[in-house]
Amino acid sequence: MSNPLFDFGMIGLGVMGRNFLLNMADHGFSVVGLDKDNQKALSLEKEATKGTIVKGVTNAGDFINALKKPRSIMMLVPAGKPVDAVIEEFLPLLDKGDILIDGGNSHYTDTVKRIRYLEEKGIHFMGMGVSGGEKGARFGPSIMPGGDQDAWRTVQPMLEAVSAKVNGSPCVAYLGKDAAGHYVKMVHNGIEYAIMQLISETYMLMHRGLGLNNDQLHGVFKKWNEGNLQSYLIEITRDIFMQQDDKTNNRLVDMILDEAGAKGTGMWTSQDAMSLHYPIPLIDIAVSMRDLSVYKEERTRAEGIYGNPYQNLPVDKEAFIAQLHDALYFAVINCYAQGLGMIQKGSAALGMDIPLSEVVRIWRGGCIIRSVLLDKFFVIYSKTKDMPNILLSEFVSKELQGNVRQIRAVIVASINAGYPVPGLSASLNYFDSYRRKHLPVNLLQAQRDYFGSHTYQRIDEPGIFHTEWKENNE
């Protein structure tokens, strides 16, 4: 490999890395992949489409020398220390002007530090979210880059070629300064957590409350995926109910332990929202419910003490399923609203200039939270750039008002029968709080001032006030 031949290099040939690279080769780019695991490097070439230019190597020097200059290199390695280890290993081998892209789910604050660190050494470092799982990486992910604009312009044609397309428009866009790409990906995942929580609540209500079997659940989600809930997460849920377990005669979903895993991106979203003082209660509750699920042994003991709360929902089955559809639609709108509102707030706080219309546009295809709803949001944000919350738009207000009665009915019936619906409830409570001019925190302010002289503002004159509150004031 004495002549540098290759357009693009990938460090880390796990499933995501190799699929992304093979996708790139299918679009006519010559690619080289590096992995210390000989097997992974060798099999890359075997998996490549005939006629494409793909090389797998195990040696960092060979990798670097194979790439055209300035080099475009992406890494897809686990977030955290492995990213820093790759940077340190490659730094002596890189030349000024080379581009290094972190395509993993790194925390955006780490990305900011890495950008600054590498800037000093003349290396363009970009944080880039990639969504769509294994298949997305292979056949068209949604790609969320941010950072150095010159670096973006260099890799733009390649990323546009490999990304998912919606009506011919590539699901990739420059999302803003610094770690904008990783910030958007973090919130994407927070929304992902919230929608998954909501779908699982509807599953519980239909399965345990209405007694629907997996075939029937498949049928419901199939129908739901044909209307305004059409989305990737509804589509895969539909399919999951039909998957047979290969160890038993059961459906696989019934054999899976009810303890959720999490790699942390949902938690980061909640942590960051708390620091920003931006409310995203649907995402918060989704993170908490994953955490609660892990206490299986305690939950089992508690069920022994308090009894099995499951009982048939005393409702008309068909009518309830129709209400549930509308309730889910209502709640999903709120997930996006909270996430998008947070991106707007975070972007302003961190000076990232994230264009919301572009975020929504590139989420319409390839990513885990893609849905037909985002087509409507794209139109809204294209027209109104500075809307603080999509709940204030005409379209969303009509949709929420048209479905609020149904979500109330679902929540009341579920709570009366002892079914936990924390996501659906958080969505309705958020809505009922957000659309209310008066909240009861005047009392809370009085309490703060009472016990801690924390002061308050008045409704009738500007300024900061404190009162010496009378004790036992009867």
Angle at 140 between CA 94 and CA 31, to 5 degrees: 35
Q: Least CB distance from residue 268 to ligand 6PG, whole Å?
A: 10
CA distances to 209, 214, 325, 340, 383 from 250, rounded to whole Å, are 20, 10, 27, 40, 50
Q: Least CB distance from residue 185 to ligand 6PG, whole Å?
A: 7
Select 133 or 355, whichever has its Cβ closest to ligand 6PG.
Answer: 133
Of the residues 55, 177, 192, 201, only one is catalytic, namely 192
Select 191 or 217, whichever has its Cβ closest to ligand 6PG.
Answer: 191
Q: How far apart are alpha carbons 14 and 43 in whole angstroms?
A: 11
Select 367 or 424, whichever has its Cβ closest to ligand 6PG.
Answer: 367
244 DSSP β-pair partners? 251
Maximal CA-CA distance, the chain: 91
Q: Least CB distance from residue 216 to ligand 6PG, whole Å?
A: 27
Q: Is there a contact between 128 and 143 (Cβ–Cβ < 8 Å)?
A: yes
Q: Least CB distance from residue 16 to ligand 6PG, whole Å?
A: 8
Select 45 or 259, whichever has its Cβ closest to ligand 6PG.
Answer: 259
Select 292 or 379, whichever has its Cβ closest to ligand 6PG.
Answer: 292
Q: Is there a contact between 366 and 144 (Cβ–Cβ < 8 Å)?
A: no
Q: Least CB distance from residue 78 to ligand 6PG, whole Å?
A: 11
The number of residues making up the chain comes to 474
Buried (b) or exposed (e) across 257-275, using 16+ Cβ within 10 A? eeebeeeebbbbbbebbee
Q: Is there a contact between 365 and 165 (Cβ–Cβ < 8 Å)?
A: yes
> What's at 184, amino acid-wise?
V
Q: How far apart are alpha carbons 273 and 267 in whole angstroms?
A: 10
Q: How far apart are alpha carbons 253 and 21 in whole angstroms?
A: 32
Select 195 or 337, whichever has its Cβ closest to ligand 6PG.
Answer: 195
Q: What is the contact surface with ligand 6PG in residues (CB under 6 A)? A: 105, 131-133, 189, 192, 261-263, 265-266, 367-368
Q: Least CB distance from residue 368 to ligand 6PG, whole Å?
A: 4
CB neighbour class for 148 (10 Å; exposed up to 12, middle 13-18, buried from 19): buried
Task: List, in order, residues 6 or more apart from 140 with CB less than 8 Å away.
Answer: 23, 132, 162, 163, 164, 165, 171, 365, 366
**Residue 205 DSSP code:** I
Tokens of 155: 């890799």
Residue in 102, 99, 94, 55 with CA at minimum distance from that of residue 75: 102
Q: Least CB distance from residue 133 to ligand 6PG, whole Å?
A: 5
Select 198 or 315, whichever has its Cβ closest to ligand 6PG.
Answer: 198
Q: Is the dihedral of CA 37, 38, 41, 42 positive or negative?
A: negative
Q: What share of the chain is helix, strand, coil (3-state, %, to 5)?
A: 55, 10, 35
Q: Can 235 be counted among the known catalytic residues?
A: no
Q: Can 185 be counted among the known catalytic residues?
A: yes
Other CB atoms within a 10 A radius of the CB of residue 78 amount to: 13
Select 266 or 346, whichever has its Cβ closest to ligand 6PG.
Answer: 266
Find where tokens 């005939």 sit.
Answer: 50
Residue nearest to ligand 6PG (CB): 131
Q: How far apart are alpha carbons 126 and 70 in whole angstroms?
A: 15
Q: Least CB distance from residue 28 to ligand 6PG, whole Å?
A: 25
Of the residues 185, 201, 376, 399, only one is catalytic, namely 185
Residue in 367, 347, 391, 329 with CA at minimum distance from that of residue 188: 367
Tell me which residues are annotated as active site. Answer: 185, 192
